[in-house]
């Protein structure tokens, strides 16, 4: 298959997609949810480490697949090769309508939350839809900030339309700025903050298995995105070398940043204060340096989310493109702009849908909805390393998974437990995710006999 996309992304561009997409709104918002679930700072760190090691085991597994199959679409390609075209299609379908669309909508929602620190009126209700579409069947409230979040998504779609090189340069620049700002928060908390007693919460239920995994869901939302660089593999220079370096190095960097940031939070704030805080980083900086520090954190959070949004749109739009190239999605989505060499129609489709999803719910609802659907597919992709070793022993593998087969087996095992735990803990959001996956089946059978872009008839 001829690929019209250009290999314009170098190591720093690929690494910035990993770091910049992973570090979004989660580190600024989820510590509250985590400490309320597990009750103590020590257990919060256990959850962060567990989530980081799980993500790293995924990155180690994905590195083998990405180096062996450096094509646009990431998991879509790996699942297609390991299990057949149906599973590749269901991944791409879920990625567009649930996982990536929901992730972009969640990031934009987090952006608007932090912008209310400067403009509180953005949290005001613009319109109420008198249908049971909101939380717990309530009427759906549309806020001014949601309209702004939708506009931000569409602006970044416009930017990425003009080339992966431009999108990559923006990603590198904004990721560097955000890492420097987070480093400032870490230094301020650890070097200038007054230490507080790290006591456990007294008003929460005893730690349970379900509570631990619910906290792990929150941590994994904060880690989500380490796999995104594999989606733009066909636009990465020297992919056999750069993709493993970006996946593994980027994930390790994020783990270190997250642990240091939480150390700063709990150095300055007690567990009770973190549990009561909607904006833990802002409250920590307010304690250390005053009101301007809280404003600085809000600015850092918005820059962080901006980078994550850009990386998500840049990478996520390549999945529908890859499906359409195989003849398993709307034909216009396979078109590459002849001037900018980007999948323009795919970028627009993903961004418009994500903007609409901004209206669908609040932050914690959205990240549960995204994580459940994502980890079903992540688990299957981790298992694909083992399946393809057996099914395609002749495949050239420039990188072999460190710790094989223990690392991919561990990744898949925890993914199964996480999915089942989330289903029990958040059945409404989980079942909605499953329903949207199932909705793809009739579309697959409709498209399965259509030719690919290169005119090859694709069977099921």
Is the predicted pLDDT of residue 345 greater than 50, yes or no?
Answer: yes
**Overall average pLDDT of the 373-381 stretch:** 83
Give the architecture (CATH level 2) of 11-447. Up-down Bundle (1.20)
**Overall average pLDDT of the 338-359 stretch:** 91
Tell me the pLDDT band of 212, cut-offs 50, 70 and 90.
confident
Tell me the pLDDT band of 320, cut-offs 50, 70 and 90.
very high
**Overall average pLDDT of the 196-200 stretch:** 58
Is the predicted pLDDT of residue 163 greater than 50, yes or no?
Answer: yes
Between CA 309 and CA 175 the distance in angstroms is: 11
Is the predicted pLDDT of residue 224 greater than 70, yes or no?
Answer: yes
Q: Which pLDDT does position 394 carry in this prediction?
A: 93
Q: Which of 205-209, 218-222, 243-247, 377-381 has the highest mean pLDDT?
A: 243-247
Is the predicted pLDDT of residue 208 greater than 80, yes or no?
Answer: no
User: Could you report the per-residue pLDDT of 68-111, keeping only the tens digit for each?
Assistant: 999 989 999 999 999 999 999 998 998 888 778 888 888 888 88
Tell me the pLDDT band of 343, cut-offs 50, 70 and 90.
very high
Tell me the pLDDT band of 460, cut-offs 50, 70 and 90.
very low
Tell me the pLDDT band of 376, cut-offs 50, 70 and 90.
confident
Percent of the chain with pLDDT over 90: 44
Cβ-contact 377, 95 below 8 angstroms: yes
**In the chain, where are the structural domains located?**
11-447
Q: Which pLDDT does position 124 carry in this prediction?
A: 83
pTM, full prediction: 0.84
Of residues 305 and 2, which shows the higher confidence score?
305
User: Could you report the per-residue pLDDT of 6-50, keeping only the tens digit for each?
Assistant: 888 899 999 999 999 999 877 887 898 899 888 889 999 999 999
Tell me the pLDDT band of 62, cut-offs 50, 70 and 90.
very high
Tell me the pLDDT band of 199, cut-offs 50, 70 and 90.
low
Q: Which pLDDT does position 195 carry in this prediction?
A: 67
Q: Which pLDDT does position 204 carry in this prediction?
A: 54
Q: Which pLDDT does position 457 carry in this prediction?
A: 42
User: Could you report the per-residue pLDDT of 127-155, keeping only the tens digit for each?
Assistant: 887 766 666 666 777 888 889 999 999 99
Of residues 114 and 36, which shows the higher confidence score?
36
């Amino acid at each position: 298959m001829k690929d019209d996309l250009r290999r314009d992304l170098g190591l720093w561009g690929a690494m910035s997609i990993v770091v910049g997409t992973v570090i979004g709104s989660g580190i600024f918002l989820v510590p509250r949810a985590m400490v309320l679930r597990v009750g103590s700072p020590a257990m919060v760190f256990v959850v962060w480490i567990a989530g980081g090691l799980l993500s790293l085991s995924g990155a180690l597994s994905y590195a083998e697949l990405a180096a062996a199959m450096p094509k646009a679409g990431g998991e879509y390609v790996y699942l297609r090769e390991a299990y057949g075209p149906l599973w590749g299609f269901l991944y791409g379908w879920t990625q567009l309508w649930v996982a990536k669309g929901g992730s972009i909508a969640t990031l934009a929602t987090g952006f608007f939350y932090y912008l209310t620190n400067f403009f509180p009126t953005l949290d005001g209700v613009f319109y109420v839809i008198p249908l049971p579409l909101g939380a717990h069947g309530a009427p759906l409230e549309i806020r001014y900030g949601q309209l702004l979040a939708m506009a931000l998504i569409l602006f970044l779609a416009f930017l990425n339309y003009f080339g992966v090189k431009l999108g990559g340069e923006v990603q590198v620049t904004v990721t560097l700025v955000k890492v420097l700002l987070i480093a400032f928060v870490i230094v301020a908390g650890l070097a200038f903050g007054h230490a507080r007693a790290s006591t456990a919460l007294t008003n929460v239920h005893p730690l349970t298995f379900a509570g631990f995994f619910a906290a792990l869901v929150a941590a994994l939302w904060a880690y989500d995105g380490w796999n995104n660089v594999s989606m733009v593999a066909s636009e990465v220079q020297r992919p056999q070398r750069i993709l493993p370096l970006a996946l593994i190095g980027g994930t390790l960097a994020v783990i270190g940043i997250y642990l240091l940031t939480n150390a700063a939070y709990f150095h300055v704030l007690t567990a009770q204060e973190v549990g009561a805080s909607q904006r833990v980083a802002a409250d920590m900086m307010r304690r250390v340096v005053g009101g301007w520090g809280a404003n600085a954190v809000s600015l850092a959070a918005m820059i962080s989310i901006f980078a994550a949004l850009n990386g998500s749109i840049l990478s996520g739009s390549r999945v529908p493109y890859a499906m359409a190239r195989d003849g398993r999605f709307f034909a216009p989505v396979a078109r590459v702009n002849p001037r900018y060499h980007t999948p323009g129609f795919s970028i627009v489709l993903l961004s418009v849908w994500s903007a609409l999803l901004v209206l669908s719910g609040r932050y914690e609802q959205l990240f549960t909805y995204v994580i459940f659907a994502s980890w079903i597919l992540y688990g299957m992709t981790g298992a694909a390393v083992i399946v393809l070793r057996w099914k395609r022993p002749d495949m050239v593998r420039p990188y072999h998974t460190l710790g094989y087969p223990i690392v991919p087996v561990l990744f898949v095992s925890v993914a199964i437990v996480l999915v089942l735990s989330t289903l029990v803990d958040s059945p409404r959001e989980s079942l909605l995710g499953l329903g949207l996956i199932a909705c793809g089946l009739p579309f697959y059978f409709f498209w399965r006999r259509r030719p690919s872009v290169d005119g090859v008839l694709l069977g099921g």
